[in-house]
Amino acid sequence: MEDLIHFIFKFTRLPLSCPYYACISKRVNMVNIVFKMVVFLIRVQIAAPNIVHY
């Protein structure tokens, strides 16, 4: 179970660690993992190259 949770965190690229195995019930049949992703949009302005006409 610990490996599954670690894989989900790694797959979603979340910098989180799985709780210790002792914290996870050995009789659990289902694990609900809920997380909110905060998305920061960064506006990038790219300067257009100078066009030289000959």
Domain boundaries, the chain: 1-54
Tell whether the model's pLDDT for residue 6 goes beyond 60: yes
Query: pTM of the prediction?
Result: 0.31
Side-chain-facing half-sphere of 22: CA atoms under 13 Å: 0
Nearest residue to 1 via CA among 34, 13, 14, 23: 23
Q: How many CB atoms lie within 10 A of CB 28?
A: 8
Q: Report which of residues 7 and 26 the model is more confident about.
A: 7
User: Of the candidates 47, 45, 44, 19, which has an alpha carbon nearest to the alpha carbon of residue 33?
Assistant: 19
Q: What is the pLDDT of residues 19-53, one digit of tens each?
A: 555 555 566 666 666 666 665 555 555 555 555 55
**Residue 39: per-residue pLDDT:** 59
Q: Which residue has the higher pLDDT, 13 or 17?
A: 13
